[in-house]
Structures are given as C-alpha cells and as structure tokens.
C-alpha cells in the first residue's frame, strides 16, 4: 500500500498541473451543457404554461357562450354568442357570452404567467371578428416575453401560442 501511494505522488509531481487543467476544462464543458439544458427546460415550461392557459380560456369561453337549438327542420344546431346581451336578443340560453367568459378566465389565470413574464399580449378572436362567433369558433393568441438567466446574461424569450375551440358536431 505504501508503494502505491508513493507512485501516485510521483505521477502527480510529474504532471505539473496538466491533469488539473484538463479536469477544469471538462468541468467547464459539463457546466455549460447543464446550463443549456436548464435554459431549454425553462423555455419549455413557460411554453407549456402559456398553452395550458390559452386552452383553458378558449374551452371555457366556448362552453359558456354555446347555445344548442333545433332549426326549422328540427335538426340540432349550435351557435356561439359573444355577449350575454346578444344571446338575450335572440332568446338564447347561455351561461355567459364567450367573450365575457374569456375575460373572466383570463383575470383568474393571468397571475400564473404575470409573475414570471415581462410582457403578455392576448388577442381574442383575431381582433374581435364576428364571423368567428357565427361559425362557432373561439380563437385566442397569446404572446409572452420573458427574460431567462443564462450564465452571466439574461436571454429574451418570446413564446407565441394559439388555441382555438369550436362547437363542432
């Protein structure tokens, strides 16, 4: 055992620090790879939260503003109403207008994104196009800007997700 220890000490003296430099190089490479993986996972997590929030809003808006009725032929039809007033004018029975419900759902769920995001932009119905309501479609586009730390810098990440929900048969 004593001879082995002497041999290790001798090899270490002969290396003159080359082993240490190599070890530091590989340690730096491993740290860089780990940092890139963490950056990727942070962006994926944000993207998942944005998509989940957008899907929740569109599906809730569709469910609240949908009215199913029998047309003149007796066949069932579905229609999506933007506001409660519009539904009441046509004697439709809805929980709430789709746009009104979307606004409520956004207020209730925005804190999950707002706590980490720099800026959030939400566009309902491609700028409130009424023909989408007549087709029974609720469309939502969300853009979220976030700064993610990477090494000694902050990277700007922009996530754009779209969700669409309709009253299809």
Question: Shortest CA distance to 97 belongs to which of 125, 139, 55, 61?
Answer: 61
Q: What is the pTM of this model?
A: 0.74
Q: What is the pLDDT of residues 109-161, one digit of tens each?
A: 888 888 778 898 888 888 777 778 878 889 999 999 988 777 778 888 898 99
Q: Which of 21-25, 129-133, 155-159, 165-169 has the lowest mean pLDDT?
A: 165-169
pLDDT value, residue 140: 92
Report d(CA 68, CA 123) in Å as an integer: 26
Give, for 141, the enclosing helix (H) or strand (E): strand 137-150
Burial of 82 (0-12, 13-18, 19+ CB in 10 A): buried
pLDDT value, residue 52: 92
């Amino acid at each position: 055992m004593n001879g082995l220890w002497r041999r290790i000490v001798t090899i270490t003296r002969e290396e003159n620090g080359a082993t240490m430099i190599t070890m530091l190089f590989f340690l730096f490479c491993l740290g860089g790879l780990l940092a890139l993986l963490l950056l990727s996972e942070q962006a994926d997590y944000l993207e998942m939260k944005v998509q989940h929030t957008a899907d929740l809003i569109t599906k809730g808006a569709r469910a609240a503003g949908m009215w199913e009725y029998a047309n003149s032929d007796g066949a069932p039809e579905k229609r999506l109403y933007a506001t409660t007033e519009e539904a009441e004018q046509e004697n439709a029975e809805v929980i709430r207008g789709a746009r009104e419900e979307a606004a409520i759902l956004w207020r209730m769920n925005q804190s999950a994104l707002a706590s980490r995001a720099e800026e959030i932009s939400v566009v309902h119905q491609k700028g409130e196009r009424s023909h989408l309501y007549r087709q029974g479609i609720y469309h939502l586009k969300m853009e979220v800007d976030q700064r993610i730390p990477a090494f000694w810098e902050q990277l700007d990440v922009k996530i754009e997700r779209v969700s669409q929900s309709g009253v299809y048969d």
